Amino acid sequence: MKGVGSISILHVVFLAMTVIGLKNHVTIMPPLLETAERDSWLSVIFTFILMFPWLFLLVYIHRKSNQEPLKDWLPQKIGKIGSNIVIYIIAIYLIIIAAFTMIETLQWVNTTFLPRTPRLILLAIYVVLCILLVTTSLQTIVIVNVFVLLAVVVFGFFVAFTNLQVKDYDLLRPFFEHGFTPVLQGLVFPASGFSELILFLLIQHQIKDRMRWYHFAIILFILAGLTMGPLVGAITEFGPAEASKQRYPAYEEWGLVTIGRYVEHLDFLSIYQWLTGTFIRVGFILYIVTDLLGMAGDHRRIWKMVALPFFFICLPLMLLNEHIFLQLKGNYMLAGTFIFFFLLSIFLMIVAFMSGKKGKKSKADTQDTESGDT
């Protein structure tokens, strides 16, 4: 379906680097380090291997749905009532995911550089900014992402290479220090991020070309690299024991950056990385919600039906004790996200498969009828 949508495959890759990359780069690191410690990087490698066959499931759904919008394709296959139930469940869960990202970012902002600023004010400002992005279009989100991602990538390589002077790669050994069990327990955390690749099926009608398996494979490889970078950095710079105790390992790595004897305290650059990543991630996820509900571009409905629910879901999460929030995120939300998206992919595969069989049966019936008439 050439020329179907408005964004290219390259734009999809860039979006994945920001939207999913923020989660894999920041959010999953504390629980992963706490669970697998020294061997947490092995969990990422094994997850990459195990998730690779799942990509062909996404390709199958993408091909069978003929790149149609999900809100149009599902009613044809399972009926209007069934499709509405599925779409609203997806929309609600996406809003919850965006809320967790928002609150985690605001907790970091409040803890690190704005401790005296009320979180409610920060929440209101950031929600307004994200919704303003949502009310534009996917092309606008993509363009903004390209501009901010360039600096994010540059800063990422900068901190990685600058901290080579303090890294000790011997800290990665011994492998399987506590056996294979911690590595297996840690698989769910990177899988939670990788499974979000299914988000791009929800906007497939806005992608110009059909996505192939190698497109998904390239994105998965990049995401694995984005996960491995700060993870290995935290272990080799702080040691597995200290890294597993840190609340924001990726941010703490910036505290070690020095250039010569006189240039240090460059951790303010991480503020740009995290805030822009959250801005794009939350904006993109909420845009998918508006597209699923058929209100993309309708400013008034977006403010009423997306902005307000999003704000009121964020409020109770913001009032939670930080320790409880971390436990909720690490023990339930990350695992729940993987399970939700994996089950969603299985459901969509079944719908695609059954619709294909029905199509063949109806075609055969038509041929038999024509033969009988003859």
Considering the domain boundaries, does residue 3 fall inside one? no
Which pLDDT belongs to residue 366? 45
Give the residue with greater pLDDT, 364 vs 161: 161
pLDDT band at 3; cut points 50, 70, 90: very low
What angle (nearest 5°) sits at the alpha carbon of residue 45, between those of residues 27 and 93?
Answer: 40
Residue 367 has pLDDT above 90, yes or no: no
Considering the domain boundaries, does residue 93 fall inside one? yes
Considering the domain boundaries, does residue 217 fall inside one? yes
Give the CB-side neighbour count of residue 274, counting CA atoms within 13 A: 24
Under 8 Å between Cβ of 19 and 282: no
Residue 96 has pLDDT above 60, yes or no: yes
Mean pLDDT of 19-25: 91
Write out the DSSP string of 77-122. HH-HHHHHHHHHHHHHHHHHHHHHHHHHHHHHHHHHT-TTS-HHHH
Distance, CA of 118 to CA of 84 (rounded, Å): 38
Which pLDDT belongs to residue 359? 53
Task: Look at the alpha carbons of 243, 246, 247, 250 in this order and tell me if their dihedral is positive or negative.
Answer: negative
Give the residue with greater pLDDT, 268 vs 334: 334
**Over the chain, what is the mean pLDDT?**
88
Which pLDDT belongs to residue 1? 43
pLDDT band at 2; cut points 50, 70, 90: very low
> What is the model's pTM?
0.91
Which pLDDT belongs to residue 323? 85
Alpha-carbon dihedral of residues 331, 332, 337, 339, nearest 10 degrees? Answer: 100
Contacts of 315 (CB under 8 A, 6+ apart): 123
Considering the domain boundaries, does residue 102 fall inside one? yes
pLDDT band at 196; cut points 50, 70, 90: very high
Residue 86 has pLDDT above 60, yes or no: yes
Residue 4 has pLDDT above 70, yes or no: no
Mean pLDDT of 65-93: 91
Considering the domain boundaries, does residue 367 fall inside one? no
Under 8 Å between Cβ of 196 and 334: no
Which of 259, 319, 315, 349 lies closest to 62, judged by CA? 349
pLDDT digits (tens, 9 = 90+) for 141-179: 999 999 999 999 998 888 888 888 888 888 888 888 888
* CATH number of 216's domain: 1.20.1740
Which pLDDT belongs to residue 259? 81
Domain that holds residue 110: 9-353
Structurally, how many domains does the chain consist of?
1
Mean pLDDT of 281-305: 92
Which pLDDT belongs to residue 356? 64
Mean pLDDT of 170-191: 90
Considering the domain boundaries, does residue 360 fall inside one? no
Which pLDDT belongs to residue 361? 52
**For 150-154, 188-192, 261-265, 296-300, which range has the lowest pLDDT when averaged over its residues?**
261-265
Under 8 Å between Cβ of 248 and 26: yes
pLDDT digits (tens, 9 = 90+) for 230-268: 899 999 988 888 888 888 888 888 888 888 777 777 778
pLDDT band at 287; cut points 50, 70, 90: very high
Paired strand residues for 263: 259
Which pLDDT belongs to residue 135? 93
Considering the domain boundaries, does residue 366 fall inside one? no
Considering the domain boundaries, does residue 2 fall inside one? no
Mean pLDDT of 316-339: 90
Residue 66 has pLDDT above 50, yes or no: yes
Which pLDDT belongs to residue 369? 46
